[in-house]
Amino acid sequence: MDEKTLSALLSGLKLGNVRYAPSLGSTNAVAGEWLANGAPDLALVAAGEQTAGRGQSGRAWQSPAGSSLAFSIILRSGLHDDAARLPRLTALGALAVCTALENRNLTAQIKWPNDVLLAGCKVAGILAEAVWTGSHLDGVVLGIGVNVHPDAVTQARARERVLRYPAISVEEAAGQPIDRWDLLVDIVKSLLQWREKLNLPAFLHAWEQALAFRGEPIQVTHEIPGQSSPVTQVGILAGLAEDGALLLRTPEAGFGRSMSEKSTSFRLLTG
């Protein structure tokens, strides 16, 4: 891949601008700098491999050459200076990946807030990073990483020995070859379509429908300001609130799957 070819592949989608590098540290970092230097809305940065990919909660994210997708899209227009709306942008990335996978007859689900699952295993991760000037939101860098070929998962396993969550590649789930650049174009196309609906009830509905473990026992671990150790809450995953917070019905559940280590937004229902 090269910048000219990728730009041509994406030319029908009216993006802000496209940058590609065979290897770089993190597409989110590069996009963040670009945003600070005036990148237009829907500018895109993609990489053949990342050497310092960023994951949630300060973790590293592996994007080995030739087998994964790593790209970031800069969102500038239609944003509100409201941190409470940011989870919707993470969901925007996750729903775009789900839709592109569904177009390949794969049933994908969202492990709230930012993982995409196929067959119960993690196939993609989303990292939305906001850039603020004081209380004004300058823009958001929406980073998307997808394990496309089996090698992406093998290499991640080799590096981490024990993965935090079982991983899978799109090709393993599909049982047939997948062109990762076609997949990237499809994800971006879906993202643009979902962005049009971002503030509509249809968006929340699709997000809720795509949630993994609905009606099942889960545990959510979150940090409480001023407390040194995180607190874990167990309950039944009931759905999403209007603002995208996870609704957890308590207290009858036993131990469930862990949803997020440092969850910022969930609400308890009783009974």
Q: With binding defined as CB under 6 A, does residue 72 bind ligand BTN?
A: yes
251 preceded by cis ω (within 30°)?
Answer: yes
| Residue keyed to tokens 């167990």 | 234
Q: Which lies closer to ligand BTN via its Cβ, residue 115 or residue 208?
A: 115
Helix extents (H) in 210-267: none
Size of the site for ligand BTN (CB under 6 A): 22
Amino acid at 184: L
- Rule CB under 6 A: say whether 115 interacts with ligand BTN: yes
Using CB under 6 A as the binding rule, whether residue 97 contacts ligand BTN is answered as no
Give the shortest CB-59-to-ligand BTN separation in angstroms.
6
Examine residue 109 and tell whether it contacts ligand BTN (CB under 6 A): no
The tokens for 184 are 């990237």
The one-letter code for the residue type at 177 is P
Stretch that binds ligand BTN, among 77-85, 125-133, 231-239, 246-254 (CB under 6 A): 125-133
Residue nearer to ligand BTN on the CB measure, 47 or 79: 47
Closer of 63 and 235 to ligand BTN (Cβ) = 63
Using CB under 6 A as the binding rule, whether residue 24 contacts ligand BTN is answered as no
Binding string, residues 31-70; x marks residues near ligand BTN by CB under 6 A: -------------------x--xxxx--x-x-x------x
Helix (H, G, I), strand (E, B) or coil at 205: helix
Q: Check residue 56 and report its DSSP letter.
A: G
| CA 87 – CA 127 distance, rounded (Å) | 10
Query: Hey, is 175 helix, strand or coil?
Result: coil
Minimum distance between the CB of residue 9 and ligand BTN, rounded to whole angstroms?
18
* Tokens linked to 24: 């770089």
Q: Which residue is nearest to ligand BTN (CB)?
A: 125
Alpha-carbon separation of residue 255 from 230, 237, 259 (angstroms): 17, 12, 12
Residue 103 lies near ligand BTN (rule: CB under 6 A): no
The answer to the question of residue 145 lying near ligand BTN (CB under 6 A) is: yes
Q: Which residue has the tokens 């989870």?
A: 87
Q: Cα 141 vs. chain centroid, distance in angstroms?
A: 11
Coil, strand or helix at 240: strand
- The distance of closest approach from Cβ of residue 270 to ligand BTN in the complex, given in angstroms and rounded to an integer, is 31
141 or 240, CB closer to ligand BTN?
141
Least distance (Å) from ligand BTN to the CB of residue 268?
A: 25
Tell me which stretch binds ligand BTN (CB under 6 A): 98-106, 142-150, 180-188, 239-247: 142-150
Q: Is 87 in the site for ligand BTN (CB under 6 A)?
A: no
Under the binding rule (CB under 6 A), the answer on residue 233 touching ligand BTN is no
Of 165, 158, 161, 145, the C-alpha closest to 52 is 145
Distance CA 138, CA 222 (A): 27
Is the torsion defined by CA of 268, 270, 111, 211 positive or negative? negative
Point out which residues bind ligand BTN (CB under 6 A): 26-28, 50, 53-56, 59, 61, 63, 70-72, 114-115, 125-127, 143-145
